[in-house]
Each structure stands twice: as C-alpha cells, then as structure tokens.
Structure 1
Amino acid sequence: MGAMILRRLAVAVFSLIGVVVITFALTRVLPGDTAAYFAGPAASREAIEQLRHSLGLDKPAAEQFADYVAALARGDLGNSLTTGQPVLSDLLSRLPASAELTLLGLLVSLAIAIPFGILAAVKPGSFVDHACRLVTTAGVSLPVFFTGLLLVYVFYFILGWAPAPLGRLDVFLSAPPTVTGFFLIDSALAGDWETFRGALSQLVLPVLTLAIFALAPIARMTRAAMLAVLTSDFVRTARASGLTPWSVLITYAFRNALLPVVTTLGMVFSFLLGANVLVEKVFAWPGIGSYAIEALIASDFAPVQGFVLAMAVMYVLLNLLIDVLQGLIDPRARTAT
C-alpha cells in the first residue's frame, strides 16, 4: 500500500507541474487586457502602460512564468486585483462554502442513487428499474445550470417554498462564529438553531441541483455492478447455503460490487467540482467557483490560476483517497501499477 501511494504521489507531482504550465499559458492567450480593464475606460494610454509595467505584464512571457513559479515555491499565489487581497486568503475564506455545498450534494446523491441502483438490479424490468433508467437519463441530459434555474422557478417563484437564492444565509441572519467554515456545523456547535435552519434552507435547492447531476452515474454504475455480481457463482452458492436474502444482497453482492462504485465516485466528485462553478453563479453562492468566474471576466489572472491549481490539488488528493479505498476493499488493487 505504501509503495502504491508513493507511485501515485510521484505521478501527481508531474501532473501538477503540467497544470501550472498549461494554466499560465492559457491565461495569457485569453482575450482582454488586464491593465486596460483595471485602469478604467477613461484612462490614458500612458496610465495603462504604467499600470501594465507595475503588474509586470510588459515582461517577456518566460520571465513572467519564472516569477510565477518562484512565487509558487514560496507559497504565494499572487494578489487579486479584483478584491485587493492575496489569492490564497481569498481561496481559504471561500473554500468552506464550496466544500459544504459539494460534499452535501455528493452525500444526498449517494443516499438516493445506491439504494435506487440496488433495487433496480434486484428487480430488473420492474417499475423501479424503469424509474432508475428515467432518472439517470434525465440526470445526464439536463445541464446543471438549467436544473438549478428550473428548481428556483418552481420552488421559489411559483410555490414560494424555498428562500431567495441569494447566498448562504438570509440577509437578516448573521454568520455563526467560525470553527470549520461550514455554517451547518458551526451554527450547531454554537447552539444557534435559527441560523442552522436558515443555512439549511439556503442549501436545499443548490444541493438538490448537484445531487440530481451526480446521482445518474452512481445509480447506473451501482445497477450494472450489482447485476453482474448477482449472477455470479458465489452468490448462487450463498443462496443455496440458506443465507437470508438480505445477507446475500448486502454482505456478498454489494460488497463485491462496491469497487466500481467507489471508482465512479472519484469521477463524479471531479465532475461536481466543475458543476459547482455554475451552481454557485445560479444561487449567488460565495464559493471559489463564483470567485474564479468574476476574476475571469475581469481578466484577473492570479485568482484564475490559483483556482485551477486548487482544483488540481483537490483532484489529486481525491484520486489518492480513491486508490486507498480500493486497496482496502480489494487487496488485489494494492499491487496494481
């Protein structure tokens, strides 16, 4: 297991180097002039050139890249021209909002998709099986931003059941004392149940949007893996031995079908990181996704580069966690290259 983790980390280092190079190159070829944008429409050419010089944008690209890498080696992601703050502090302050939304979306999708996929596999051709196919097809087909807008239109505009999609809390509530950055956990630790209910109500629609997007591949993979396992010899032997259907289904079948499901979770979580950007814009969520979009519109390079690097680091760590879980579920995976 230790050798496998070291191999994965070695590959991850080269992957992150590639991300740094590609991100730097792409931000430099995007349309828009950073100096002209922040100097303002009334700025003279001399003022724009002076700002470009102060930002170091008049240097050759190779020299700019060398300065960027040297700053990264010191743990400096640069400063955001939009907020005036270091990019690292901006990302750290907004990361809990994105993490709370993404993790809850993944947990809700798991709670729905895994039982749904198991039931569809146990009763193929039944109403549950057809419903599973319908839900997975809809989840894959509907764009995540369209799902979010549709939920807002139905549950906020028409029915009035949901609060206004304007961030993590209602304007009349104050944020709980920061412990973890997760409003649900922090408000519960503080015993502030009014803020807890307010934060939970704001989370319902964006979490449901992400869950609908994520449950389709999880349910489909669970169904396919369970169908393959339920027809295997060891399951038939377990049934012939007189074991209860529940024991056969969970202890034998689902445990052996878990490996491809766990692999799918890594892919789904990476998709959620990308979908989170659109969901945050739809629901005015103050996470790192909306932060990166605002910086991209303003041609503010440092936040965009910091966001992509942060996503790459999380993706690498997630894949490492998936590899460890695979080794725990199936010892044969520990010796895989």
Structure 2
Amino acid sequence: MLTQLTKRLATAIPSLIGVIIVTFLLTRVLPGDTAAYFAGPAASAEAIEEIRVKLGLDKPLYEQFVDYIGALFSGDLGVSLTTGQPVIEDIITRLPASAELTLFGLVVAMLIAVPLGIVAAVKQGSWIDHACRIVATAGVSLPVFFTGLLLVYVFYFILGWAPAPLGRLDVFFSAPEPITGFLLIDTLLVGDLETFWAALAQLAVPAATLAIFALAPITRMTRASMLSVLSSEFVRTARASGLSPYKVVVTYAFRNAMLPVITTLGMVFSFLLGANVLVEKVFAWPGIGSYAVEALIASDFAPVQGFVLAMAILYVLLNLLIDLLYGVIDPRVRMEG
C-alpha cells in the first residue's frame, strides 16, 4: 500500500508543476492592467509605472516566473493587493468555510443518493427507479447557480423558512473564537447550541444547492454498479444459499459495488470545489471561491495563483485518500500494491 501511494504521489508532482506553470502564464495574459487598476482612474502614467515596478511587473516574464518559484519554495504565496494580507493567511482563514460547505453538501448528497441508487437497482422498473432517473436528469440539467437562486426564492422569499443568504452566520449572532475553522464544530466545542443552530440554518440552503448538483452522478453510478453486481454469479449463489435479501444486497452486492462509487465521489468532490465558486457568490459565503473571484476581477494575480494551487493540492490529497479506501474495501488492491 505504501509503495502504491508513493507511486501515485510521484505521478502527482508533475501535475502540480504543470498547474503552477499554466496558472502563472494565464494570470499574465488576462485582460486589464493590475497597476492601473490599483493606481485608480485619476493616476498619472508615472504613478502607474511606479506601482508596476513595485509589483515587479516591469520585469521580463521569465524573471517574474523565477521570482515566483523562489517565493513558493520559501512558502510565500505573495500578498493580496485587494486585502493587503499575505495570500497564505487569507487561504487558511477562508478555506475552512469552503470545506465545511463542500463536505456538508457531499454528505447530504451521499445520504440520499447511495440508498436511492441501491433501492432503484433492487427494484428495477419500479416508481423508485423512475424517480431515481428523474433526480439524476434534473441534477445534470440544472446549473448550480440557478438551483441556488431558485432555493433562495422558494425557502427565503416565499416560505420564509431560511435565513437571509448573507454569509455563514446571521448578524444577530457572534461566531466563537476559531478552533478548527469549521463553524458547526467550533460552536459545539464551546457548547453554544444557539449559535450552532443559527449556523446550521445558514448552511442548509447552500449545502442543499451543492447536494442537488452532486446527487446525479452518485445516484447514477450507484444504480449502475449495483445492477452489474446483482447480475453476477456470486450474488445468485448467495441467494440460492438461502441468505436474507438484506444480507445479499448490503453485505455481498453493495461492498463489491463500492469501488466505482468511491471513484465517483472523488470526481464529484472535485466538481463541487469548482461549483463552490458560484454558490459562494450567490450566498455571500466568505470562502476561498468568492475570494478568488474578487481577486480575478481586480486582476490580483497572487490570490488567483494561490487558489488554483490550493485546489490542486486538495485534489491530489483526495486521490491519495481514495487509494487508501480502495485498499480498505478490496484487499486485492493492497496485494497488487
């Protein structure tokens, strides 16, 4: 297993290098002049040039890249011109908000999609199977920002069940001192249940938006994988041996159908990291996605580069975690490693 993880990590390093190079080049060809933006519309040409020199944008592109790589090796992602703070501090501050939203949405999607996919496969052709197909089609067809706006309109504007979509916590509540950065966990650790329920209410609608987006691929893969396993020889043998339907489906069929589902979860999580950007803007969520969008609008290179690099590292770590889960679910993977 350790050998397999080492090999996967070795193959991920060139990908990270490619991400760094492509991100650096793309941020330099974006329209707009960073120096002119921060100098202001009334700034003179001399003032703009002075800012450009201060930012190092007057150097040739290869010199800028060498400086950027040198800073990366020292753990310096640069300073955000929009916030005035080091990018690494901004990412550490905002990443827990995005992670909490993404993980909560993924967990909600799994709790609904996996049982729905199993029941749809077991009761193929029933109304549950047709409902599963409708859910999968709707999840694929609806853009995530449209789903978010629709849920806000229904649950906040019409029904009044949800709080105003204005961040992680209502203005009438105070967040506790950060411990883990996850607001739900921090409020439980300090025993503030009132703030916990307020934070959960704020999280419910944006998490539901991401969950609807994630439902489709998880449900479809669970159903397809279960259908494939249920038609196999060992399942028919288990049924012929007189085992209960529950044991046949859960113990034998589902465990063997989990590997494709786990792979899909990894892909869905990476998709959710991208969808997070839109959801955070719709709900004014103070996460890393909205931070990157604001920096992109301002032609602020350092936060955009830091955001892409952080997402790439998260994706690599996620794939390593999936490899570990493969070994836990199927011992043959450990033997091959």
Q: TM-score, normalized by length of structure 2?
A: 0.99
SS in 1 for 2:102: helix
Matches within 5 A, 1:184-223: 184-223=184-223
The letter for the 1-side match of 2:164 is A
1:194, distance to aligned residue in structure 2 (A): 1.1
Matches within 5 A, 1:320-331: 320-331=320-331
Unaligned stretches of 5+ in structure 2? none
1:336, distance to aligned residue in structure 2 (A): 5.7
Deviations 1:142-189 (A, max 9, x none): 000000000001111111111000000001111112111111111111
In the alignment, does 2:315 pair up with 1:315?
yes
Partner of 1:83: 83
Partner of 2:252: 252
- Distance of 1:154 and 1:296 partners within structure 2: 31
> Is residue 35–residue 48 contact of structure 1 (8 Å, CA) maintained in 2?
yes
Deviations 1:190-240 (A, max 9, x none): 111111011000001000000000011000000000001111110111011
SS in 2 for 1:262: helix
The letter for the 2-side match of 1:61 is L
- Distance of 1:212 and 1:259 partners within structure 2: 22
The letter for the 2-side match of 1:167 is G
Matches within 5 A, 1:227-238: 227-238=227-238
- Distance of 1:325 and 1:182 partners within structure 2: 24
1:328, distance to aligned residue in structure 2 (A): 2.0
Partner of 1:33: 33
The ranges of structure 1 where at least 4 consecutive aligned residues each deviate by more than 4 angstroms after the TM superposition are none
> Is residue 221–residue 260 contact of structure 1 (8 Å, CA) maintained in 2?
yes
Number of aligned residue pairs: give it: 337
Unaligned stretches of 5+ in structure 1? none
1:2, distance to aligned residue in structure 2 (A): 1.1
- Distance of 1:251 and 1:330 partners within structure 2: 13
The letter for the 1-side match of 2:118 is I
1:334, distance to aligned residue in structure 2 (A): 3.7
1:327, distance to aligned residue in structure 2 (A): 2.0
1:324, distance to aligned residue in structure 2 (A): 1.4
SS in 1 for 2:78: coil
- Distance of 2:331 and 2:266 partners within structure 1: 19
- Distance of 1:307 and 1:318 partners within structure 2: 16
- Distance of 1:310 and 1:72 partners within structure 2: 12
Deviations 1:69-124 (A, max 9, x none): 00000000000000000000000000110010000000000000000000000001
In the alignment, does 2:4 pair up with 1:4?
yes
Matches within 5 A, 1:141-152: 141-152=141-152
- Distance of 1:65 and 1:28 partners within structure 2: 10
Matches within 5 A, 1:69-148: 69-148=69-148
* CA distance 1:335–1:29, shift in 2 (3 Å): farther
- Distance of 1:183 and 1:303 partners within structure 2: 23
In the alignment, does 2:289 pair up with 1:289?
yes
In the alignment, does 2:225 pair up with 1:225?
yes
- Distance of 2:88 and 2:79 partners within structure 1: 8
Partner of 1:174: 174
The letter for the 1-side match of 2:17 is I
- Distance of 2:194 and 2:326 partners within structure 1: 41
- Distance of 1:208 and 1:281 partners within structure 2: 15
Partner of 1:51: 51
SS in 2 for 1:75: coil
> Is residue 4–residue 335 contact of structure 1 (8 Å, CA) maintained in 2?
no
> Is residue 229–residue 235 contact of structure 1 (8 Å, CA) maintained in 2?
yes
1:326, distance to aligned residue in structure 2 (A): 1.1
Matches within 5 A, 1:270-289: 270-289=270-289
Q: TM-score, normalized by length of structure 1?
A: 0.99
Deviations 1:290-322 (A, max 9, x none): 000000000000000000000000000001111
SS in 1 for 2:184: helix
- Distance of 2:170 and 2:263 partners within structure 1: 38
- Distance of 2:184 and 2:149 partners within structure 1: 24
Partner of 2:66: 66
1:335, distance to aligned residue in structure 2 (A): 5.8
- Distance of 2:331 and 2:192 partners within structure 1: 45
SS in 2 for 1:63: helix
Seq. identity, %:
76
SS in 2 for 1:172: coil
Partner of 1:157: 157
> Is residue 177–residue 187 contact of structure 1 (8 Å, CA) maintained in 2?
no
- Distance of 1:297 and 1:251 partners within structure 2: 51
In the alignment, does 2:284 pair up with 1:302?
no
> Is residue 177–residue 190 contact of structure 1 (8 Å, CA) maintained in 2?
no
* CA distance 1:82–1:331, shift in 2 (3 Å): same
